[in-house]
Protein backbone atom coordinates (compact mmCIF):
# COMPACT_ATOMS: atom_id res chain seq x y z
CA UNK A 1 0.00 0.00 0.00
CA UNK A 2 2.82 2.42 0.86
CA UNK A 3 4.31 1.85 -2.59
CA UNK A 4 1.00 2.84 -4.18
CA UNK A 5 0.84 6.04 -2.18
CA UNK A 6 4.44 6.86 -3.05
CA UNK A 7 3.72 6.28 -6.73
CA UNK A 8 0.66 8.55 -6.61
CA UNK A 9 2.64 11.32 -4.91
CA UNK A 10 5.38 10.93 -7.53
CA UNK A 11 2.83 11.24 -10.33
CA UNK A 12 1.41 14.41 -8.76
CA UNK A 13 4.92 15.87 -8.47
CA UNK A 14 5.69 15.10 -12.10
CA UNK A 15 2.32 16.53 -13.16
CA UNK A 16 3.14 19.84 -11.46
CA UNK A 17 6.63 19.94 -12.97
CA UNK A 18 5.34 19.15 -16.45
CA UNK A 19 2.60 21.78 -16.16
CA UNK A 20 5.15 24.43 -15.18
CA UNK A 21 7.42 23.39 -18.05
CA UNK A 22 4.50 23.49 -20.50
CA UNK A 23 3.63 26.99 -19.29
CA UNK A 24 7.26 28.03 -19.75
CA UNK A 25 7.53 28.92 -16.05
CA UNK A 26 11.21 28.13 -15.57
CA UNK A 27 12.40 31.49 -14.28
CA UNK A 28 11.09 34.29 -12.09
CA UNK A 29 10.47 36.40 -15.20
CA UNK A 30 8.28 33.65 -16.69
CA UNK A 31 6.44 32.71 -13.48
CA UNK A 32 2.75 31.90 -13.75
CA UNK A 33 -0.23 31.89 -11.45
CA UNK A 34 -0.57 28.64 -9.52
CA UNK A 35 -4.02 28.33 -11.11
CA UNK A 36 -2.34 27.89 -14.51
CA UNK A 37 -0.62 24.76 -13.26
CA UNK A 38 -3.91 22.98 -13.72
CA UNK A 39 -5.82 20.66 -11.45
CA UNK A 40 -3.21 19.74 -8.87
CA UNK A 41 -3.22 19.46 -5.16
CA UNK A 42 -1.76 22.62 -3.71
CA UNK A 43 0.03 20.65 -0.98
CA UNK A 44 2.22 19.19 -3.76
CA UNK A 45 3.22 22.70 -4.81
CA UNK A 46 3.82 23.62 -1.17
CA UNK A 47 6.08 20.60 -0.61
CA UNK A 48 8.07 21.27 -3.76
CA UNK A 49 8.32 24.89 -2.71
CA UNK A 50 9.61 23.87 0.73
CA UNK A 51 12.32 21.81 -0.98
CA UNK A 52 13.38 24.69 -3.24
CA UNK A 53 12.11 23.09 -6.45
CA UNK A 54 9.34 25.64 -6.94
CA UNK A 55 9.77 29.29 -6.12
CA UNK A 56 7.16 31.94 -5.56
CA UNK A 57 7.46 35.55 -6.71
CA UNK A 58 6.44 38.51 -4.55
CA UNK A 59 3.08 38.66 -6.32
CA UNK A 60 2.38 34.96 -5.70
CA UNK A 61 3.24 33.48 -9.09
CA UNK A 62 5.25 30.24 -9.20
CA UNK A 63 8.12 28.92 -11.29
CA UNK A 64 10.18 25.74 -11.58
CA UNK A 65 13.87 25.68 -10.72
CA UNK A 66 15.04 23.01 -13.20
CA UNK A 67 18.43 22.52 -11.50
CA UNK A 68 16.80 22.05 -8.09
CA UNK A 69 14.31 19.58 -9.63
CA UNK A 70 17.17 17.51 -11.08
CA UNK A 71 18.95 17.42 -7.69
CA UNK A 72 15.71 16.55 -5.87
CA UNK A 73 14.80 13.84 -8.39
CA UNK A 74 18.30 12.32 -8.28
CA UNK A 75 18.11 12.20 -4.49
CA UNK A 76 14.77 10.36 -4.64
CA UNK A 77 16.26 7.82 -7.05
CA UNK A 78 19.26 7.24 -4.75
CA UNK A 79 16.94 6.72 -1.79
CA UNK A 80 14.86 4.24 -3.80
CA UNK A 81 17.98 2.31 -4.82
CA UNK A 82 19.17 2.13 -1.22
CA UNK A 83 15.76 0.87 -0.11
CA UNK A 84 15.78 -1.82 -2.80
CA UNK A 85 19.28 -2.82 -1.74
CA UNK A 86 18.27 -3.06 1.91
CA UNK A 87 15.24 -5.16 0.98
CA UNK A 88 17.39 -7.52 -1.09
CA UNK A 89 19.87 -7.93 1.76
CA UNK A 90 17.01 -8.65 4.17
CA UNK A 91 15.61 -11.26 1.79
CA UNK A 92 19.00 -12.92 1.39
CA UNK A 93 19.58 -12.97 5.15
CA UNK A 94 16.12 -14.43 5.75
CA UNK A 95 16.69 -17.06 3.05
CA UNK A 96 20.07 -17.93 4.52
CA UNK A 97 18.63 -18.32 7.99
CA UNK A 98 15.85 -20.57 6.76
CA UNK A 99 18.39 -22.95 5.20
CA UNK A 100 20.00 -23.68 8.58
Whose CA is closest to 46, among 36, 58, 28, 60? 60
Tell me the residue length of the chain: 100
CATH number for the segment(s) 2-98: 1.10.10
* 15 vs 61: CA distance, rounded Å: 17
pTM: 0.74
* 97 vs 100: CA distance, rounded Å: 6
CB distance 37 to 45 below 8 Å: yes
pLDDT at position 77, please? 81
Residue 10 has pLDDT above 70, yes or no: yes
Could you state, in order of their start, the residue ranges of all structural domains in the chain? 2-98
List pLDDT tens digits, range 39-94. Answer: 667 788 889 999 999 999 999 999 999 999 999 998 878 888 888 888 888 888 88
pLDDT at position 30, please? 94
User: How many alpha carbons lie under 13 Å from residue 33 in its C-beta half-sphere?
Assistant: 4
- The model's confidence at residue 98, banded by pLDDT at 50, 70 and 90, is confident
Amino acid sequence: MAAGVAAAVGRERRRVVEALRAAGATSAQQAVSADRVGHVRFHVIARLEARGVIHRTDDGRVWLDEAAWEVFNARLHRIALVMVGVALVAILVAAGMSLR
